[in-house]
């Protein structure tokens, strides 16, 4: 039950009805018996600054930020985590005791934690990683892989110039691959990650034959609707270990929840069921 002393947090987006964060955080609040609430807040782009500045006055400990506000929020917080600056997006905001806003990004943390939980013993240093796509999600994935010690990150995107821009901005062990060479780029890879929306419900499957991919390479798709995308189904059929995308969503929420509500939450089967059933 929420009392007048309860802790408040939420998610800001436009629209925000699609977000599964309220179910995710609501599950944890109930599980740990916390006096608090996590609420969805639909905020139009032109009102984002006013909404963020109002968090402290309303007693909020912070919030998540989702589309289309992740980039705009960078310029509106008072303090920006260097990691969020590199990823060029904010997805988590903490309200300091003095009301100042601290912005960070937990997507890379969620990505790595998901792989480590879904494939125990996996490490980024095992070998080259192939990343498909050069959007915002790819930035978080590439930064996380580079920081975790990936020796090479092969980046393939339909529009090569976009991949080249991303590689130039991020630096590190990134090799840009022509879209026509994406299949050959799988040779010798230890990890394959799809960061595009291809394979999502209503979208065509990712156009990528896996013939050259080593049988022990880990395959991950950040899409989680459906939970088993055509890419994961094809990888599983040929014997590759696979990790679905919902765990990235679940794990990226952990740092924010701990900061706002004072409990380090657990990601488990019950949480997955609560979020997937939303």
CA dihedral 153→157→163→164, nearest 10 degrees, is 90
| pLDDT tens, residue by residue, 90-143 | 999 999 999 999 999 999 999 999 999 999 999 999 999 999 999 999 999 999
| pLDDT tens, residue by residue, 239-271 | 999 999 999 999 999 999 999 999 999 999 999
CA dihedral 11→12→18→24, nearest 10 degrees, is -10
What is the per-residue DSSP string for 39-57?
EEEE--GGGHHHHHHHHHH
DSSP assignment, residue 124? G
Which residue positions form the known binding site for shikimate? 19-21, 66, 91, 107, 224, 252
Q: Please give the span between the terminal C-alpha atoms of the chain, in angstroms, as a whole number.
A: 21
What is the per-residue DSSP string for 229-272?
-HHHHHHHHTT--EE-SHHHHHHHTHHHHHHHHS------HHHH
Domains of the chain: residue spans and CATH? 7-105+247-276 (3.40.50.10860), 120-240 (3.40.50.720)
pLDDT at position 278 over 70: no
Which residue positions form the known binding site? 19-21, 66, 91, 107, 133-137, 157-162, 222, 224, 245, 252
pTM attached to this predicted model = 0.96
Active site residue 236: no
| Catalytic residue selected from 7, 27, 69, 70 | 70
């Amino acid at each position: 039950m929420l009392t007048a002393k309860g802790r408040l947090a939420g998610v800001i987006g436009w629209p925000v009805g699609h977000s599964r964060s309220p179910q995710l955080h609501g599950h944890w609040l109930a599980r740990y018996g916390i006096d608090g609430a996590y609420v969805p807040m639909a905020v139009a782009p032109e009102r984002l600054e006013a909404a963020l500045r109002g968090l402290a006055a309303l007693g909020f400990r912070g919030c998540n930020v989702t589309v289309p506000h992740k980039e705009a929020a960078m310029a509106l917080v008072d303090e920006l985590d260097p990691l969020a600056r590199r990823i060029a997006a904010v997805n988590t905001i903490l309200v300091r005791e003095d009301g100042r806003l601290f912005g960070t990004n937990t997507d890379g943390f969620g990505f790595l934690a998901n792989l480590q939980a879904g494939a125990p013993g996996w490490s980024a240093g095992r070998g080259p990683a192939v990343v498909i796509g050069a959007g915002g999600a790819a930035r978080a994935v590439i930064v996380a892989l580079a920081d975790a010690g990936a020796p090479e990150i092969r980046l393939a995107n339909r529009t090569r110039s976009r991949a080249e821009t991303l590689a130039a901005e991020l630096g590190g062990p990134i090799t840009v691959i022509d879209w026509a060479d994406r299949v050959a780029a799988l040779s010798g890879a230890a990890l394959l990650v799809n960061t595009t929306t291809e394979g999502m419900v209503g979208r065509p499957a990712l156009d990528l034959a896996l013939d050259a991919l080593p049988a022990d390479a880990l395959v991950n798709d950040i899409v989680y609707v459906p939970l088993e995308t055509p890419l994961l189904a094809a990888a599983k059929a040929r014997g590759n270990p696979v990790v679905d995308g919902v765990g990235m969503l679940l794990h990226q929420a952990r740092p924010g929840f701990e900061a706002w509500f004072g409990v380090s939450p657990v990601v488990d089967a019950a949480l997955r069921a609560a979020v997937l059933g939303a």
